[in-house]
Amino acid sequence: MVFSEKGIARFKRGNSFITFASMEKQLIYFDNAASSPLDERVLRVMHTCQRELFGNPSSVHEAGRRARVAVEDARRTIAKRLHVTPAEVFFTSGGTEANNAILWGAAEDLGYSSFITSPAEHPAVLKPLEAIGSRHGVRVHFAAIDNKGHVDLDHLEKLLKENPASVVSLMHANNETGTLLPVKAVSGLCAKYDSLFHSDTVQTIGKFEMNLGSPHIDFAVASAHKFHGPKGAGFMIVRSGNFFKPFLTGGGQERNMRAGTENLCGIVGMAEALELAHERLEEDQRHIMDLKKTCIENLSERVPGVSFNGDAEGSSLHTILNLSLPAGIDPDMLLPRLDMEGICVSSGSACASGTTKGSHVLEALGVDLQKPSLRISFSRYNTHEEVQRLVDVLVKVSG
Ligand code: PLP
């Protein structure tokens, strides 16, 4: 890789160069819930994999067998960290595909005709459910949430009582506000009413110690690029007894649950990223919680009228902070102004929409959408200096 004076990254191919975006500007990156930087250790493992493991894992010769061993090692690493069996781990291209495969599999193959979700779920759950719900005889029910985004458990139980043998799809941590689901209580209700529990765990896998056997979760999903792994690699956990016909067909890979040649180096990198995340879990949690606390304290002190959305100081994922600034600042101008200062944040779910459109999650919480809102999402690489710079810039733009 060559860096020009202006910091343009260029890769030589034959006599010409492929030019990538300018890397000149020092960025402060607070959009880790959208995607997080690849860890160096993961990059090294992937580099070796790209160079040395060129066989197709389905080929029976030595090169294929080496690739197969790498895939199965990765599967075992992931299974061990989540306390499931390797046979319950299925590789996908990421969280969107995993959610789609599970929901469609539950409807089409397992024969479930009642689904219970919430209005604050990710579009990778809401959109497939919308399509599934338009099928003859299928119903999708919405559990109420309060103004912090917590699911009303009494309402959930009422829905389950009226519709036993449902699939309950509720995310572990909301990707826009960080509000956490009481997984144990929801798992208990699902068991009581003979229902399956699917949880979109994209934002929490690699952030917490997780045992998917206790409390029991039937289906969980992950996306490597949310925990410093590569983009385009993810997995679904499907507990045995709930296997379904493949969402993608055309090959017998993943024990006939997901056709297509495995993304070998993505899978190897993802397992390394998960392993690394777990090795430094407590250290990272402490550091990120401290950043979030400092950010809340400083903004509360220095930006009159700032408010925090979700349950920022309560049951909330440490990596996510959602806030609204006082009315009067043009919501459409806030992100560009921060961007000009070299600060990357998002307004709601940039990873879902690619736009800065109003958030269906904040709307469901009853947040005043006239006020500009921001999602700040932290990672192990952020520093207190960066938080101070963010606060200074927010003071400037709201002044
Ligand atoms: N679910 C949640 C909660 C997310 O935050 C995301 C992020 O974009 C997804 C699903 C989609 O994951 P992926 O980017 O791997 O398709």
Enter the pTM of the model.
0.93
Question: With contact defined as beta carbons under 8 Å apart, do 227 and 274 qualify?
Answer: yes
Q: Examine the pLDDT at 245 and tell me if it is beyond 50.
A: yes
**351 among known catalytic residues:** yes
Structure tokens at 397: 């733009």
Q: Examine the pLDDT at 1 and tell me if it is beyond 60.
A: no
Span 349-367, pLDDT tens digits: 444 444 446 899 999 999 9
Residue 332's pLDDT band, with cuts at 50, 70 and 90, is confident
Please tell me the number of Cα atoms within 13 Å of 344 on its side-chain side: 18
Q: Which of 175, 201, 247, 319 to mutate to test the pocket of ligand 1 (most atoms within 8 A of CB)?
A: 175
Q: How far is the CA of 202 from the centre of ligand 1 (A)?
A: 6
Instruction: Report how far residue 181's alpha carbon sits from residue 220's, in angstroms, rounded to the nearest whole number.
Output: 14
375 Cβ closer than 6 Å to some ligand 1 atom: no
pLDDT on residue 10? 57
Residue 236's pLDDT band, with cuts at 50, 70 and 90, is very high
Q: Which residues, at least 6 apart from 150, have a Cβ–Cβ distance to it below 8 Å?
A: 179, 182, 311, 315
Residue 12's pLDDT band, with cuts at 50, 70 and 90, is low
128 Cβ closer than 6 Å to some ligand 1 atom: no
pLDDT on residue 18? 58
Span 81-116, pLDDT tens digits: 999 999 999 999 999 999 999 999 999 999 999 999
pLDDT, averaged across the chain: 93
- Amino acid code (one letter) for 17: F
What is 352-390 written as a DSSP string?
Answer: HHSS-PPPHHHHHHT--TTS-EEEEE--TT--HHHHHHH
Q: Examine the pLDDT at 300 and tell me if it is beyond 70.
A: yes
Q: Which domains does the chain have, with CATH numbers?
A: 2-30+281-398 (3.90.1150.10), 41-278 (3.40.640.10)
200 Cβ closer than 6 Å to some ligand 1 atom: yes
Q: Please give the torsion angle defined by the CA atoms of residues 139, 113, 211 and 230, in that order, rounded to the nearest 10 degrees.
A: -80
In the three-class reduction of DSSP (H, G, I as helix; E, B as strand; rest coil), residue 2 is classed as strand
Of residues 61 and 327, more confidently modeled:
61
Phi, psi of 142 (to 5 degrees): -115, 120
